[in-house]
Amino acid sequence: MAGTAAVGWRRPQRVSMQEHMAIDVNPGPIQPIPLISDYFPHFYPFAEPARGAPGPHPAVSPASSAPQHSQTQSQRETQTTAVTTLGTLEFTLLFDADNSALHCTAHCAKGLKPPASGSLDTYVKANLLPGASKASQLRTRTVRGTRGPVWEETLTYHGFTHQDAGHKTLRLCVCEDPRLRPRRRRVPPLGELRVPLRKLVPNRDRSFSVCLEKRRLVSRVAHETKRPERLDTSRGMSLYEVRGTGAEQEVKGTGLGYLGIRQEVAEVAGEERGRILLSLCYSSQRGGLLVGVLRCAHLAPMDANGYSDPFVRLFLHPNVGKKTKYKTSVRKKTLNPEFHEEFFYAGLREELAQKTLLVSVWDYDLGPANDFIGWVQLSGRAGGERQRHWRECLDHSDHRLELWHPLDGRAPLQLSD
């Protein structure tokens, strides 16, 4: 019986690892792989109940792997076609460094993919990231009933500086207007794209024609680095996209990468209180200082509706025995108000050089107290642009100088509602 068993026993057929894994060693041009499992053989016994138990693994010849490779190629082409069928968006960007503005002109879209409803009533929505969503959200008009809408409309971000161009990204979304739908149900965008603004050349426009992509989801790192819950509820939702920045690469390998990202996001969040455009001019004829409050941009939303009702207060101290406090009118439900109001402080230039001008922005409420948004201090003892703005104004009479200043969210002791 031992001899009979020895004669009936057969050595299993040897299969090389390359044949077993069915790997094509010469796939040609490198293309994205939809699923890595497409390159591995599968066996599902539950798919065919009548099938017997599997025997030894058969050898996989190159001829048998050819249909699988062609099927994978067709899947790649299908996926590429699905991406391109979202359409393309043509637009132009211009960074006006002289006026601190970013102009985005939405020209047209081509080959948009119709939604399930079958109607195409579209508009373009723009956001600056990172930042408060409603503070930096602009949109074009709605064009109805076409897969190739033409807008030819310019969206302008005021108060856009070189620092913003270095770390901000412009997100453009082609959206379906929910107001024209029967149920007015909010739907996801038809497609979106993102443009890093650090590559823009100041005072030189640049045209783009970019394919739209599906809406991106916030990554796990972005969830980990979001702001505290109390600040999120008062500031509205913001989208942060933390990637391999220079600050992160410097601390990588030291065990402080996560803390470096948190610190970078905290600095960006501090800038989100907004900024204000002020004009200063010392009038030699009137013998005093003219302070102009022109506009604010990207203010923090303080109300439950995601907006604010901002107004500006001015306080020159010390200024004993004279008019020291002024305030502008209130602008309702906006985060980018325009004031264009001017106020006068009498005094000699030598006296004004020793004083400090406090400019604060508030949100008007019907209750006993208003909400503080941010403030900026201009004086000869301030630093950076705030000191330069104050000194150049007093050194050059009858010369108006306009500058943007970021708002600080920490209220000083001199400010109280």
- Choose among 224, 257, 231, 281: nearest CA to 403: 281
Specify if 145 maps to a domain: yes
Comparing CA positions, the residue from 336, 274, 291 lying closest to residue 309 is: 336
Asked whether residue 62 carries a pLDDT value surpassing 80, the answer given is: no
Residue 32 is predicted with a pLDDT of 56
Residue 277 and residue 404 in contact, taking contact as beta carbons nearer than 8 Å = yes
Q: Taking a C-beta distance cutoff of 8 angstroms, is the pair 267, 260 a contact? A: no
pLDDT over 60 (residue 208) = yes
The count of domains in the chain is 2
Q: Given this model, what pLDDT does residue 83 score?
A: 47
Please indicate, yes or no, whether residues 204 and 303 belong to a single structural domain of this protein: no
Helix (H) or strand (E) segment spanning residue 143 = strand 143-144
Query: Which pLDDT band, with edges at 50, 70 and 90, does 323 fall under?
Result: confident
pTM for the full predicted model: 0.62
| Inside any domain, residue 5 | no
Q: Does residue 298 share a domain with residue 207? A: no
Quick one: 110 and 181 in the same domain?
yes
Residue 377 inside a domain? The answer is yes
Is the alpha carbon torsion for 106, 111, 112, 118 positive or negative?
positive
d(CA 288, CA 358): 17
- Say whether pLDDT at 169 is over 70: yes
Q: Are 118 and 201 in contact (CB under 8 A)?
A: no
- How far lies 300's CA from each of 167, 175, 402, in Å? 19, 25, 22
Per-residue confidence at 55, pLDDT binned at 50, 70, 90? very low
Q: What is the mean pLDDT of residues 363-392?
A: 91
User: Of residues 211 and 216, which shows the higher confidence score?
Assistant: 211
Q: Averaged over 195-206, what is the pLDDT? A: 93
The DSSP line for 84-98 is HTT-EEEEEEEEETT
At CA 265, angle to CA 260 and CA 266, rounded to 5?
A: 95
pLDDT band at 324 (very low <50, low <70, confident <90, very high): confident
43 inside domain: no
200 plus 304 within the same structural domain: no
Query: Of 175, 194, 212, which residue constitutes the final position of a domain?
Result: 212
Q: Give me the domain span that covers residue 163.
A: 87-212
For 324, the 3-state DSSP assignment is coil
Domain of 280, CATH number, reads: 2.60.40.150
Report the SS3 class of residue 361.
Answer: strand
Are 339 and 348 a contacting pair, CB within 8 Å?
no
Name the pLDDT band for 48 (thresholds 50, 70, 90): very low
C-beta of residue 181 within 8 angstroms of C-beta of residue 133: no
Write down the number of H helices and E strands in the chain.
10, 17
In contact, 124 and 174? CB cutoff 8 Å: yes
**Alpha helix segments (H runs only) across 10-127:** 17-21, 62-84
Q: How far apart are CA 338 and CA 324, in angstroms?
A: 23
Asked whether the predicted pLDDT for residue 363 surpasses 80, the reply is yes
My answer on whether 278 and 393 are in the same domain is yes
Which of 170, 185, 212 lies at the terminal end of a domain, its last residue? 212
